[in-house]
Chains A and B, each alone.
Chain A
């Protein structure tokens, strides 16, 4: 069954191999060259950014045809390559915008970029996985790195609490995942996605056990994506973790988990989609509402963004719950636009610092439109886009989701989803109100780095002008989503 070329198909795992080797150099380098010295920090960051860029380069140079390798444990196709590239790019940008924050908060640990690279490696493995066991390896690698990162601020009680909470709940979710997979293995005798999709799931024999295992697997991924009702950890972890890590949490692992969810739902479990369609739909709608209502009264921008993430991922679930090509495209478009606007918003948050203290409270943004008009305009564009106002990118993303939902015939779902989106418009608007309508300290000038300003500018310009090149981007999404044939 397995040909020699299939075993030695090294090229499809080349990015992961490169990143592992890079990490092997990184560890001794960090330990032996004074890893925790102030003067070395930027070198380590640059070192890790170069590593990520190299991985990205190898990834993009590689063959983008669909192929399997390592006894079918590992797979690659256009969709996977796109998501990996998105992860790497987002990680590079997050590393760049966290530099200043780390110097303010004294996060001088070479382990910081190291752990980020480890988690990236885990995510790449997750996305490559064509087998639940490979997937689990990647999932644990990234999760363990993330638990430590959440607690990176050692002297802060909240950060430690965030790390511990994330670890305990995350471990529980991993347990669920393993349990679900073992049940699935018990029923079908395989853990391979391809085999599951082809032969082993006989739709005539739906047992309670099968439903049970599907529910367990989906809920553990839902936990990683902070989908309601598995979202309880999110606001606390977002608030407690160092802000630069929150930025990382809000973007990069989300992309990976969405990719994994797409592979599980649309490849491994596609034959039994009647089990999960309704489930994913309900989870999506629930998250939209939990996110919308939860954020209404938040005073801390990080907690607010946690709820905003819950609601945004809810929209992706809504799109995925259709089980159609259009739903897949819509979810890919949504996660792309979400990542770009989230990077912009976090660049803003990481720039907000006064006398070496980070400003996390929304009320501290009062009067920003007078003192720092550039930042206020950029953030307003990004928030209005998240609220889904035309003609910004967020509108098109939501429009595409609702188009997919309505053309699939779920009119009522669309109405409920849109109501959720109107409610969430309120709190985005509230931040704009604070910046534009409230009076604040006019002498407050944000001193941030030029590269952060550039990233903020580019992301908000992209969001603003998205409508001009939306056509080619949507065509591209269609092209990559064809990698999965439904």
Chain B
């Protein structure tokens, strides 16, 4: 079985499904039903494949499931795929969230269902491709192409200011990534290869590193997003349809963090060390500033969007501590945020589907009519706050430990963010779920249906599993991270 090109299968099955959907024809109702079914099953097959990968993943460092086809030698691009412990879990996360998104849009998407499902499957292809790529240019191709389906998803099925948001998202990210492209060309032609495995051990000249690092940073900082490059995120989240927000928060933001851990830190270690104080400063500002802004939001989606900025601040701080705990914590934090923020957006989606408003002031007291929903929402709120036992706790604690090892003040300011995080999330929960039921429309609100349970339960399982027994996840990437930390220590010692 190991000889199967399983990564290529995971990349091309959604594409094939999308092609299949484009052939579906007939009466509108049957078309809608069939496209949804095809999309769901395709994404489930990919998810099962990703689980298969996880179960069969060898317990050794380095890249596995390698595939290589020469694409064109004149430029030096090859179709190289492979996974190591770090990228494996991101692939599983992407493959997990796509069927969830398709289920979440089952009823809320009523127009142009066919195109919607095609774009989601295309998005899945590109996301998995981004995490599997072992060629710098191939990575860039997937990374950049991700913009197109996301642009259309926000632009077609989004809210009233969708066009503004879609353009802002697209141009912001594009501007960041073209600098990345220049850096790629420079890196490729100085080292003579685009193979990520070779680049990971290649030693760039120090002066060149100081030039390359900001170019990479520009791209990943916009994607992550770090303060002050985050302004596209609240707009994109508010205007995107629920599933679009889920993918955006769940996977696309992780691409930025993945970029740091895969490219900036191991390939340019000296420059990363040089610029680390900058990253810490921006990270701390992001955590405190975004939390304070989140406190004052009137729109629930905007609040969660700002909380994403704060949570990704932990990730960047953790990564740039260059400590085992910090990087482990950052990866767990990314996975946890992928689940929790996705779930929170889904919760907001549940409310929005029923009431067609996202304003906090329109809600209050829904616990009496939606007790089950209130419970699920509570779980995710607490996970976002970082309650011990949930996934949010593990990541934040590890990052704090690593931050303390670097600098006490850093740990202190980062810790303040945790308190602020609890404040805005619990206050949100209080205003939405508890209190008096004032809005008359809320009297007839119905609790979760079966489909929504199917969406939430796997995420809850994931959140607790990651919170209570993180070892089962950490074991996959621990050796890779240890390797990375050793690599950093030897390079920085010289």
Which chain A residues have a beta carbon within 8 Å of chain B's beta carbons? 369-370, 384, 389-391, 395-396, 399-400, 402-403, 406-407, 411, 414-415, 418-419, 421-422, 425-426, 429, 433, 436-437, 467-468, 470-471, 474-475, 478
B202 contacts partner chain A, Cβ-Cβ < 8 Å: no
- Indicate if the CB atoms of A418 and B148 lie closer than 8 Å: no
Q: How far is B172's CA from A426's CA once the two chains are assembled, in angstroms?
A: 11
Q: How far is the CB of B128 from chain A (nearest CB, A)?
A: 15
- Report which residue of A415, A436, A437 has the largest number of chain B beta carbons within 10 angstroms of its beta carbon: A437
Please determine whether B144 and A389 come into contact, CB atoms closer than 8 angstroms: yes
Cross-chain contact B75 with A429 (CB below 8 angstroms): no
Given A390-B140, A390-B145, A471-B73, does the pair A421, B155 have CB atoms closer than 8 Å? no
* B binding-site residues for A, Cβ under 8 Å: 70-75, 77, 112, 115, 140-141, 144-145, 147-148, 151-152, 155-156, 162-163, 166-167, 170-171, 174-175, 178-179, 181-182, 185-186, 189
Is the CB–CB distance between A390 and B171 below 8 Å?
no
Residues of A within 8 A of B71 (CB): 467-468, 470-471
What residues on B are CB-neighbors of A470 within 8 Å? 71-72, 74-75
Give 17 A-B pairs besides A415-B182, A429-B151 with Cβ atoms closer than 8 angstroms. Answer: A390-B144, A391-B141, A399-B75, A400-B75, A402-B181, A406-B185, A418-B179, A422-B174, A425-B170, A429-B171, A436-B152, A437-B166, A468-B71, A470-B74, A470-B75, A471-B71, A474-B74
Check B174 against A425 for contact (C-beta < 8 Å).
Answer: yes
Whether A370 lies near B144 (C-beta < 8 A) is no
A433 → B minimal CB distance (Å) = 6
Which B residues lie within 8 Å of A437 (CB)? 155-156, 162-163, 166
When chains A and B are docked, how far (Å) is the Cα of A399 from the Cα of B72?
Answer: 13
Across the interface, which residues of A come within 8 angstroms of B144, CB to CB?
A: 389-390, 395
Complex Cα gap A426–B151 (Å): 12
Q: Given A390-B140, A437-B156, are A474 and B75 neighbors across the interface (CB < 8 Å)?
A: yes
The answer to whether B72 and A403 touch across the interface, beta carbons within 8 angstroms, is no
Q: Which single residue of chain A is at the shortest CB-CB distance from B72?
A: A471
| Distance to closest chain A CB from B84 (angstroms) | 24
A384 touches B148 (CB 8 A): yes
Question: Shortest distance in angstroms between B82's beta carbon and chain A's nearest beta carbon?
Answer: 19
* Bound-complex Cα distance A426 to B178 (A): 14
CB <8 Å contact, A471 and B74: yes
14 interchain pairs (CB within 8 A)? A389-B145, A390-B145, A399-B181, A399-B185, A400-B75, A403-B75, A419-B178, A421-B178, A437-B166, A467-B71, A467-B77, A470-B72, A474-B72, A474-B74
Chain B residue numbers with a CB within 8 Å of A467 are 71-72, 77, 141
The smallest beta-carbon distance between A477 and chain B, in angstroms, is 8
**Who on chain B is nearest to A472 by CB?**
B72
Do B189 and A407 have beta carbons less than 8 Å apart?
Answer: yes
Residues from chain B with a CB closer than 8 A to the CB of A418 are: 178-179, 181-182
| Interface pair B75/A396, CB less than 8 Å apart | yes
Which of B70, B74, B171, B189 is in CB contact (< 8 Å) with A425? Answer: B171
**Minimal Cβ-Cβ distance residue in A for B114:** A373
CB <8 Å contact, A436 and B148: no
Neighbour of B171 across the interface among A395, A414, A422, A478, CB < 8 A: A422
| Complex: A384 Cα to B170 Cα, angstroms | 12
Contact A389 to B147, CB < 8 A, known contacts A403-B75, A471-B70: yes
Least distance between B282 CB and chain A CB atoms (Å): 23
- The list of the 10 closest CB pairs from A to B, nearest first, reads A471-B72, A474-B74, A390-B141, A437-B155, A418-B178, A391-B141, A470-B72, A406-B185, A390-B144, A407-B189
Residues on A with beta carbons closer than 8 Å to the beta carbon of B156: 436-437
Asked whether A436 and B185 contact (CB < 8 A) given A391-B141, A425-B174, A429-B167, the answer is no
Chain A residues with CB below 8 A from B152, complex form? 436
Given contacts A389-B145, A406-B189, contact A414 B72 (CB under 8 A): no
A411 touches B140 (CB 8 A): no
Q: Contacts A426-B171, A470-B72: A402 and B148 contacting too (C-beta < 8 A)? A: no
Beta-carbon nearest neighbor of B171 in chain A: A426
Q: Shortest beta-carbon distance, A371 to chain B, in Å?
A: 12
CA–CA, A485 to B182, complex, Å? 29
- Rounded to whole angstroms, the CA-CA distance of A419 and B176 in the bound complex is 10
CB neighbours of A407 from chain B (8 A): 189
When chains A and B are docked, how far (Å) is the Cα of A415 from the Cα of B178?
Answer: 9
- Beyond A390-B141, A411-B182, whether A478 also contacts B74 by CB under 8 A is yes
Report how far A406 CA is from B182 CA in the complex, Å: 8
Docked pose: A470 CA to B171 CA in angstroms = 27
Given the interface pairs A384-B148, A433-B163, the reply to whether A402 lies near B182 with Cβ below 8 Å is: yes
The residue of chain A having its C-beta at the shortest distance from the C-beta of B155 within the complex is: A437
Q: Which residues in A have their C-beta under 8 angstroms from that of B72?
A: 467, 470-471, 474
CB distance from A45 to the nearest CB of B (A): 35
* Assembled-state Cα–Cα distance A164/B108 (Å): 57
Kindly provide the distance from the CB of B133 to the nearest chain A CB, expressed in whole angstroms: 12
Report the Cα distance A393→B89, complex, angstroms.
Answer: 32
A26 to chain B, nearest CB (A): 42
Minimum distance in angstroms from A329 CB to a CB of chain B: 8
Min distance, Cβ B187 to any Cβ of chain A, angstroms: 10
- Closest-CB distance, A311 to chain B (whole angstroms): 15
Contacts of B112 in A (CB 8 A): 370
Among residues of B, the one whose C-beta sits closest to the C-beta of A426 is B171
Closest to B112 in A: A370
Nearest-CB residue, chain A, relative to B145:
A390
Q: Tell me whether A433 and B167 are in contact in the complex, defined as CB-CB below 8 angstroms, given that A384-B148, A403-B75 are known contacts.
A: yes
Give A316 to B141 CA distance when docked, in angstroms: 23
List of A residues within 8 angstroms of B171 by Cβ: 422, 425-426, 429
Look across to chain A and name the residue whose beta carbon is closest to the beta carbon of B111.
A370
A436 to B75, CA, bound (A): 34
A336 CB to nearest chain B CB (Å): 14
Chain A nearest CB, measured from B115 CB (Å): 8
User: Which residues does chain A contribute within 8 Å of B145, judged by CB atoms?
Assistant: 389-391
Write out the residue numbers on chain B whose beta carbons fall within 8 Å of the beta carbon of A425. Answer: 170-171, 174
Other-chain residue from A400, A436, A475 in contact with B155 (beta carbon distance below 8 A): A436
Most buried by B among A391, A403, A478: A391
Give every chain A residue within 8 A of B141 (Cβ-Cβ): 390-391, 395, 467
Chain A residues lying within 8 Å of B74, measured Cβ to Cβ, are: 470-471, 474-475, 478
Give the residues in chain A near B167, CB-CB below 8 Å: 426, 429, 433
Cα–Cα, bound, A468→B178 (Å): 23
Residues of A within 8 A of B185 (CB): 399, 402-403, 406, 414
Whole-angstrom distance from the CB of B178 to the nearest CB of chain A? 5
Residues of B with C-beta under 8 A to A399 = 75, 181, 185
The residues of B that contact A389 with a CB separation of less than 8 Å are 144-145, 147-148
